[in-house]
Structure 1
Amino acid sequence: MLTKVFCMRLNTYGVVIGWLGIIFSFLATILLSVALGFVDEIAQQIVAGSKSADVTLDQVRSVLVISLSVYLALKVINLLSSAMLLVGTVKERHLLLLPWLINNGVILAFGIVVHLGLWAQVFSSPTPFLDALPIILFSMAILAFGWYLYYGIYSLFKQIQVTSDIQRPLIAPASQQTNSYPSYTKI
């Protein structure tokens, strides 16, 4: 498990990632909402710039509405999971970090599939390997960076989980147990 990420303590790192996720997701939500509002104009520009005669305005508009709506939903989910990451880090509640871990785990899995497809395309192209090497190295660096960031939050999750189990055990030690009624039955 990591103890620091980019020379920051894990709690500081969790707060920074939470705030960055909130800010960028909020800005992307605004941008995608504006794009959905101007979808007709965007579709007209795409059709006008298209060299293919098979592309119709309705097809482009439908694809734009569907893709922008899905991406908007994903950004709202990312906004909520980043807010939960921030609150979970500040209040030291490890279960509030789970939505961010699940969300970004899915994004990383999707990224692996995309990168494998990119590598397959690069290897199958007729270009020499040395020309494709920078693309492959850049792709591997992005994937490694994503895993490092994810592993930092996972380490924070495990650290908070361990400290919360020590602070609040599920069963009190035998020396603290009494033969009285539970406190919720006393009036």
Structure 2
Amino acid sequence: MCMLERFFCFELQTAGVILGWFATTKSLLSLITATFGYSYIPGLVNQTIIVINNVTNQTDPDAGGYIETSTNVVEGLAVALIALMAIDFIASILLLYGTIQGNRLMLLPWLIENGFGLMYTILVTVILTLAVASNPDQNSPGASVFMGIILCIPLGFSIYCWSAVYSLYHWFAEVDTQRARLLGPMGGKAMHPAYQTYERV
């Protein structure tokens, strides 16, 4: 895999801090929103079923049990989603802290978690692209190209961000290896310098 030397105009360690702050803020806001929205699930499920029954002009005598079952399923999915958001939040904090402290191992949770996310996004993008391309009668060539661009731009940016953190991880590993060689038989722990260091003149 080709290693990046910079992230746009930023050095890799600066990029790691920027991505860490962005990911931490985004995941925290998503986690707070999902947690508050969890309490509204029963009412939303109830109203949705009522609207569906009104549109179809049907009345289900066992609507109460159906609503309860649907609510339990949606609540279970919501709990799983909140758990994934919590994992993403923790991984983002570790990314930020690991970049500042120069600890490459703290970058691994974010790389693994976002790596699975990228694979899922790539799979969905390929499926949607094939679905659009397989219906030329319903979609004009211009619309298909536009849809492909819309899907590929955020995917490409996500891959670029992941590659920057992956390159930063390898850069930390190389620096730690070089420092360990310099220490030699004297021993000691190879430490990468923190993100911001100041020397007294």
TM range (shorter): 0.7 to 0.9
Look up the equivalent residue of 2:122 and give its one-letter code. Answer: I
| 1:127 equivalenced with 2:133 (yes/no) | no
Deviations 1:65-97 (A, max 9, x none): 122111111110001111111111111111110
Distance 1:15 1:35, change over 3 A: same
Task: Give the fraction of aligned pairs with identical amino acids, expressed as a percent.
Answer: 27
Query: In 2, Cα distance between the equivalents of 1:96 and 1:29?
Result: 21
CA distance in 1, matches of 2:40, 2:143: 40
**Number of corresponding residues:** 175
Q: How far did residue 104 of structure 1 move? A: 0.4
Larger mean Cα displacement after TM superposition, 54-63 or 65-74: 54-63
1:119 Cα deviation from its structure 2 partner: 1.0
- Look up the match of 2:107: 97
The corresponding residue for 2:83 is 73
Select which of 151, 155, 158 maps to 2:170: 158
State the distance in 1 between where 2:18 and 2:183 align: 35
SS across alignment from 1:172: helix
- Once the 2 structures are TM-superposed, how far is the Cα of residue 131 of structure 1 from its aligned partner? 2.0
1:102 aligned partner, one-letter code: I
Tell me, in whole angstroms, the C-alpha distance in 1 between the residues paired with 2:51 and 2:18: 41
- Whole-angstrom CA distance in 2 between matches of 1:49 and 1:73: 30
Segment drifting more, 133-142 vs 43-52: 43-52
* 1:62 aligned onto 2:75: no
Aligned equivalents of 1:135, 1:12: Cα separation in 2: 33
- TM-score between the two structures when normalised by the length of structure 1: 0.84
Contact between 1:46 and 1:60, CA under 8 Å: does it hold in 2? no
List runs of 5+ in structure 2 lacking aligned partners.
188-201
The Cα offsets for residues 121-147 of structure 1, whole Å up to 9 and x where unpaired, read as: 212233222222111111122221111
Give how far 1:59 is off: 4.4
Residue type matched to 1:19 in 2?
A: W
User: Partner amino acid for 2:160?
Assistant: Y
CA–CA separation in structure 1 for the residues paired with 2:130 and 2:182: 50
Contact 1:10 1:153 in 2 (8 A): yes
Amino acid at match of 1:33: T
State the match for 1:20 in structure 2.
Answer: 22
Cα distance in 2 for partners of 1:48, 1:159 equals: 57
1:146 maps to which of 155, 158, 176 = 158
TM-score (norm 2): 0.79
Residue equivalent to 1:183: none
